[in-house]
A and B are shown apart, each in its own frame.
Chain A
Amino acid sequence: MIRQLRVPGPIADVEEVRVLQWHAAEGDRVEPDALVVELETHKAVVEVRAGRAAWLRRRLCAEGEWQMLGAPLALLSDDAAETLPEDAATAAEWPVAFEVT
């Protein structure tokens, strides 16, 4: 199954974040609870961790790019070789845990 990583929320006073650092590359297997990406708000860093295992297939935002809360950041798949859809929005949501520090 194809899944999308979305910018998690809600976060107080934040509508949009900037991608600070990716901690998984395209093609990586991501295990539950692994740190996947750090996002930056006006005053905090948001650590986003995997809620379930998956393969990171395509990053949709580079480091330094901005994205709205709820918008897609990456596509993942349960199996390594599944075909990715053209439109990220059709993919199921990938569960994540996030912490604002």
Chain B
Amino acid sequence: MRPEPGATRRFFREAIARALREEMRRDPSLLLLGQDIGAFGGPYRDFEGLLAEFGAARVRDTPVAEAAMVGLGVGAAAAGARALVAITYMDFLMPALDPLVNYAAKLRFKTAGQLAAPVVVKTTAGAKGQGVAHSQCLEAWLMNVPGLAVVAPSSPGDAYGLLKTALRAPGPVVFVDHKRLFPLSGPVPDEEATIPFGVAAIRRPGRDVTLATYGWMTHPTLAAAAALADEGISAEVVELRSLAPLDIGTLAGSAARTGALVTVEEGQLPCGIGAEIAFRVRESVPALAVARVGARPVPVSSNPALEAAALPDAPRIAAAARRLLRPSAGETA
């Protein structure tokens, strides 16, 4: 893989560390809080080098106390600083929902704009062999909260640009990465760059069906699109990048061209991202065939065979698209 001119191939963790480093230099009020982000360099080495450059007052190792961690970050942000709180796995965000939802997301409204909480919660979602309480994708819960931005990259370049934007945002942002993204590498721009929130990207153009997804699921979805192309089905892959705000315009434009929409998420389907997208896209594209792909309604097992059985993969995504376009095919996924 050769990166395009003006970009260098980097590991996913390096894109994260670079965004943090640049924003720490730019904004002296920015603090980092997290478990093992200091001398250890972060659970995925994604905080490597930051303690050495910025010191222990700005790069703070915390106890295993997520509610207190996010509470500290929100308080620091409300008091005029800016904070990034690293919650290792998204499952552990649950004890911290109170400061995030009741305080950070509400602060600007509660104070008639006098206070804001520019805090970023960076957390790692998704299944990779770690069982029921270390595998969940809970981003749909967060999309339900007015005042919270939620972004989820699929590549080092987008992780870099979205995290930079998150660290400049006026209010709270949840930055959701995924365990399976860390082994990846990809082009990251050599020059400093940001990616705006609320702008989806068309990763593969197509004519017959729109596949809408985000985060790690972008990769199996692209594999499904390649498999469908071999059968003569031209699938367009739209990667959301930003879940709140959602770029309904790009999705609706694509769906209006193809006439069919398959949403793909790793989390649960009820009240999920697919449900939200499908409803909102149909508001502007009424005659749209829609299907959703997501996890089966079970907790994710630490048994690899059961984990794989519960989650979407390229064959299931392709089967859903096929069924939508050829209802008589009669396949089950």
Binding site for B on A (CB under 8 A): 13-14, 16, 18, 41-43, 66
Specify which of B13, B45, B182, B185 is in contact with A16 (CB 8 Å cutoff).
Answer: B185
For residue B45, which residues in chain A have a CB less than 8 angstroms away from its CB?
A: 42-43
The interface size bin for chain B is: 10 to 19
For residue A42, which residues in chain B have a CB less than 8 angstroms away from its CB?
A: 11-13, 44-45, 182-185
Contact A14 B9 (CB under 8 A): no
Given A14-B183, A18-B11, A43-B44, output 5 extra A-B contacts at Cβ < 8 Å.
A41-B183, A42-B11, A42-B12, A43-B182, A66-B1
Closest 6 CB pairs of A and B: A13-B183, A42-B183, A42-B11, A42-B182, A43-B45, A42-B13
Contact A43 B185 (CB under 8 A): no
Query: A56 → chain B, closest Cβ, in Å?
Result: 26
Query: A39 → chain B, closest Cβ, in Å?
Result: 13
The B153-194 residues at the A interface (CB cut-off 8 A) are 182-185
Q: Which residue in chain A gives the minimum CB-CB distance to B128? A: A13
For residue A66, which residues in chain B have a CB less than 8 angstroms away from its CB?
A: 1, 9, 185
For residue B9, which residues in chain A have a CB less than 8 angstroms away from its CB?
A: 66
* Dominant secondary structure of chain A at its interface with chain B: loop
5 contacts between A and B (CB under 8 A): A41-B183, A42-B13, A42-B45, A43-B13, A43-B45
For residue B44, which residues in chain A have a CB less than 8 angstroms away from its CB?
A: 42-43
Inter-chain contact total with CB atoms closer than 8 Å: 22
Q: Which residue of A16, A42, A66 has the most chain B CB atoms within 10 A of its CB atom?
A: A42
Task: Kindly state the separation between the CA atoms of A16 and B185 in the bound complex, as whole angstroms.
Answer: 9
Task: Kindly state the separation between the CA atoms of A92 and B9 in the bound complex, as whole angstroms.
Answer: 31
For residue B13, which residues in chain A have a CB less than 8 angstroms away from its CB?
A: 42-43
Q: Which residue in chain B gives the minimum CB-CB distance to A43? A: B45
Q: Which residue of A14, A43, A66 has the most chain B CB atoms within 10 A of its CB atom?
A: A43
For residue A16, which residues in chain B have a CB less than 8 angstroms away from its CB?
A: 185
Query: B130 → chain A, closest Cβ, in Å?
Result: 14
Query: A58 → chain B, closest Cβ, in Å?
Result: 22
Q: Which residue in chain B gives the minimum CB-CB distance to A66? A: B9
The B31-50 residues at the A interface (CB cut-off 8 A) are 44-45
Query: A87 → chain B, closest Cβ, in Å?
Result: 22
The B90-111 residues at the A interface (CB cut-off 8 A) are none
Task: Kindly state the separation between the CA atoms of A23 and B9 in the bound complex, as whole angstroms.
Answer: 23
Task: Kindly state the separation between the CA atoms of A16 and B44 in the bound complex, as whole angstroms.
Answer: 17
Query: A12 → chain B, closest Cβ, in Å?
Result: 9
Task: Kindly state the separation between the CA atoms of A66 and B8 in the bound complex, as whole angstroms.
Answer: 11
For residue B12, which residues in chain A have a CB less than 8 angstroms away from its CB?
A: 42
Task: Kindly state the separation between the CA atoms of A13 and B183 in the bound complex, as whole angstroms.
Answer: 6
Query: A65 → chain B, closest Cβ, in Å?
Result: 10
For residue A18, which residues in chain B have a CB less than 8 angstroms away from its CB?
A: 11, 185
Q: Which residue in chain A gives the minimum CB-CB distance to B181? A: A42
For residue A43, which residues in chain B have a CB less than 8 angstroms away from its CB?
A: 13, 44-45, 182
For residue A41, which residues in chain B have a CB less than 8 angstroms away from its CB?
A: 183
For residue B182, which residues in chain A have a CB less than 8 angstroms away from its CB?
A: 42-43
Q: Which residue in chain B gives the minimum CB-CB distance to A64? A: B8
As a 0/1 sequence over residues 1 to 45 of chain B, the CB contacts with chain A under 8 angstroms (1 = contact) are 100000001011100000000000000000000000000000011
Query: A36 → chain B, closest Cβ, in Å?
Result: 23
Task: Kindly state the separation between the CA atoms of A18 and B8 in the bound complex, as whole angstroms.
Answer: 13
Task: Kindly state the separation between the CA atoms of A55 and B45 in the bound complex, as whole angstroms.
Answer: 35
Task: Kindly state the separation between the CA atoms of A42 and B45 in the bound complex, as whole angstroms.
Answer: 8
For residue B11, which residues in chain A have a CB less than 8 angstroms away from its CB?
A: 18, 42
For residue B185, which residues in chain A have a CB less than 8 angstroms away from its CB?
A: 16, 18, 42, 66
Task: Kindly state the separation between the CA atoms of A42 and B177 in the bound complex, as whole angstroms.
Answer: 15
Task: Kindly state the separation between the CA atoms of A14 and B11 in the bound complex, as whole angstroms.
Answer: 12
Task: Kindly state the separation between the CA atoms of A41 and B185 in the bound complex, as whole angstroms.
Answer: 10
Task: Kindly state the separation between the CA atoms of A41 and B44 in the bound complex, as whole angstroms.
Answer: 11
Query: B53 → chain A, closest Cβ, in Å?
Result: 20
Task: Kindly state the separation between the CA atoms of A101 and B115 in the bound complex, as whole angstroms.
Answer: 46
As a 0/1 sequence over residues 72 to 105 of chain B, the CB contacts with chain A under 8 angstroms (1 = contact) are 0000000000000000000000000000000000
